[in-house]
Amino acid sequence: MEPLSPQMRDALKRANPGVTDRDIDRSEEILAQLQDLDPGEEPELSAKLAREFGRIVKSRMPRYLEVTQAIAKAERFEALARVRSVPRIVRKPEA
């Protein structure tokens, strides 16, 4: 799993006053564990981890979803604005 971007971490802190790096790190631990589970296997553990993630988000980062959407939107905007290199064109003089 891609490490949490610094923009996302900062935005989570700004949008959820009081949230700490430790809260965010704990949520990351849970997400990483969820990612490591085989799909469909260990459904009880998966549900337990999902519940724990939900608990942290609800109590410490209630605007988590809003922040992820805003970051996604910003990333989308940035990606679409990228400039590509331009070819150099030389017309040959007529013989």
Interface ranges with other proteins (CB under 8 A)? 1-6, 25, 28-29, 31-36, 39, 50, 53, 57, 64-65, 68-69, 71-73, 75-76, 78-79, 82, 84-85, 87-92
- Please say which residue, 18 or 88, places its beta carbon nearer to other proteins: 88
Gyration radius from the chain CA atoms: 21
Compute the least distance from the CB of residue 61 to other proteins, in Å.
10
CA 12 – CA 63 distance, rounded (Å):
8
- Please say which residue, 17 or 89, places its beta carbon nearer to other proteins: 89
3-class DSSP state of 92: coil
CA 8 – CA 45 distance, rounded (Å):
27
